[in-house]
Chains A and B, each alone.
Chain A
Amino acid sequence: MIPAAMLAAEPQPTHATAGAELPRLLSSSAPDRATTLEEHLAAHGELAPPRRRGRETGLIAEIDHAGLRGRGGAGFPTARKLRAVAASRKKPVVVLNATEGEPASRKDATLVTSVPHLGLDGAVLAARALGADEVIVAVCETAGESIDALARAIAERGTERHGPRIELRPTPPGYLAGQESALISHLNGGPGLPRFLGPMPFERGVGGRPTMLSNVETYSHIGLIGRHGADWFRELGTDTEPGSALVTISGVVADEGVYEIEWGTRLRALVQAAGGMTAAPRAALLGGYGGTWVGAEHLAELSLSDAALARHGASLGAGVIFLLDGAACPVAETARIVRWMADQSAHQCGPCANGLPALAGELEQLTHGVPAPAAPQRIEALAALVRRRGACGHPDGVSRMALSAIATFPDEFHDHAARGRCEACSAPSRLPLGAIRR
């Protein structure tokens, strides 16, 4: 695994101090193995001992002040989620989501195979704050290394007095397995598919109990905020997006992999830390497969904060940054992603089950031999038609990504519509597409 880099934001955020350093989450990581509990505690210090009774609600106020937002992709304020769960009178359960369905993301796997105790600390702290006696760790059943590292870490910790029980739960593979309602359905013994009706997880989730479900990176930040506090957390990042984040950068960089950045860092600083470019990029796909293409002309000055990325209709999402090389065909790359995402649909909702394959088919038309002059318009119509019509956000993400492709690559779409396939259309996919699973 590539070592985490120190990436300072520029211009310097107002809260930056001489003491603020990166990496934070990955500071105790050893090359190619998980840190032991002993190494973890030597690097970060012990957690304060748990109270014998009562909820440790001070942590929620601290997380609120820190401004931590969820790192699974949606960016929901973590303290608000904790408060919603805490409002219930029933005993809650804490779920750590390390399923990582994004094919181009490796940040969650990196956390659990390098520093598994940090996320577990955060989940334990969340359990204390909520008065929960159970932590469920969800990880994909095909991620052998992650399962091994987590199982070892959980066994090392033993059972803490007055602490929650920690249970490892393998989940089915697939893009949607980690979607909140799908994961809860799976944990309850049902199909791992998104739900539409029914109570919100913070009201009734796993076992009918109020459920605090967050991404493993979110809990890892909590593991540090619990030790060092909100002011420390805010020493990095910007006023509106404090702290650090993990990103997975791939494509035309020398050292693809996972890096810890300060919110607001320039993309070019990240690229520099990743050994520089190996070719001129044509564009970047930001966020994930349901993310946004941003053209090369914007990349030099791009800041990695959602406030800055919003100007390009993008967000950091699950931290995926893919740089497409100029020799690849962006139409064909987009077509392959949409086909893969169509195959990942739960096929529960008509507009998604019908619309995504239709969208993929139109994009594939453009990468076949014959001109398809009507295809771009039809792609735009289909992308608009599927939006906000599923039980989950899956069609919305595909719609956003497809529309951003047309906006970012207008000449390529025009040429493919007029003349059919280009020479690069049949080149191997630059993006990992994994096994198609239904």
Chain B
Amino acid sequence: MSHHLRVNPITCEAHGMCHELLPERIDLDEWGYPLFDSRPLEPELLDHARRAAQACPTFALLIEREKKPGRA
């Protein structure tokens, strides 16, 4: 089973906590919004990713078990 990062772009307010807690995988763009790729999370980063998701003030960072289409 693989885990992927996903962000809810509507609720994300560019607090940047995710980058602080998971710099290995999350960069910030020039406006402070997270940038990451869709590769599965390395198992050793999974706990850090979970902490980053919990620390997000708007709970916009999501960790998903399988890649789902991002569009409704």
Contacts and interface: CB of A to CB of B under 8 A. Distances in A.
Contact of A351 (B8, B33, B70): B33
Contacts of B12: 349-350
Contacts of A200: 72
B70 A388 contact: yes
Contacts of B8: 196-197, 391
A201 B72 contact: yes
Contact of B10 (A355, A385, A391, A393): A391
B47 interface: no
A358 to B, nearest CB: 8
A350 B33 contact: yes
Contact of B29 (A194, A351, A392): A351
Interface string B32-72: 11000000000000000000000000000000000000111
A113 interface: no
Given A180-B72, A201-B72, A350-B14, A391 B31 contact: no
A357 to B, nearest CB: 11
Contacts, number: 49
Interface in A381-422: 385, 388-393
A354 B32 CA distance: 10
B52 to A, nearest CB: 17
A195 interface: yes
B33 A392 contact: no
A195 B33 contact: no
B72 A351 contact: no
Contacts of B31: 350-351, 354-355
Given A392-B71, A393-B71, A196 B29 contact: no
Nearest to A199: B72
Contact of A348 (B10, B71, B72): B10
Given A385-B29, A389-B33, A350 B9 contact: yes
A379 B32 CA distance: 19
Contacts of B71: 391-393
Given A196-B8, A197-B8, A390-B9, A181 B72 contact: yes
Contact of B9 (A198, A349, A393): A349
Interface string A138-173: 000000000000000000000000000000000000
A349 B72 contact: no
A349 B31 CA distance: 11
Contacts of A201: 72
A350 B12 CA distance: 8
A388 B67 CA distance: 14
Contacts of A195: 10, 72
Nearest to B12: A350
A350 B70 CA distance: 16
A350 B28 CA distance: 12
Nearest to B31: A354
Contacts of A181: 72
A392 B11 CA distance: 14
A348 B7 CA distance: 13
B33 A194 contact: no
Contacts of A354: 31, 33
Listed residue (B10, B11, B30) with the most chain A CB atoms within 10 angstroms of its CB: B10
28 contacts: A194-B72, A195-B10, A195-B72, A196-B8, A196-B10, A196-B72, A200-B72, A348-B9, A349-B10, A349-B12, A350-B12, A350-B13, A350-B31, A350-B32, A351-B9, A351-B33, A352-B9, A354-B31, A355-B31, A385-B29, A385-B30, A390-B9, A391-B8, A391-B9, A391-B10, A391-B71, A391-B72, A393-B71
Given A349-B12, A385-B29, 19 more contacts: A195-B10, A195-B72, A196-B10, A196-B11, A196-B70, A197-B8, A349-B9, A349-B10, A350-B31, A352-B9, A354-B31, A354-B33, A355-B31, A385-B30, A389-B9, A389-B33, A391-B8, A391-B10, A391-B71
The 3 closest A-B CB pairs, nearest first, are: A349-B9, A181-B72, A350-B33
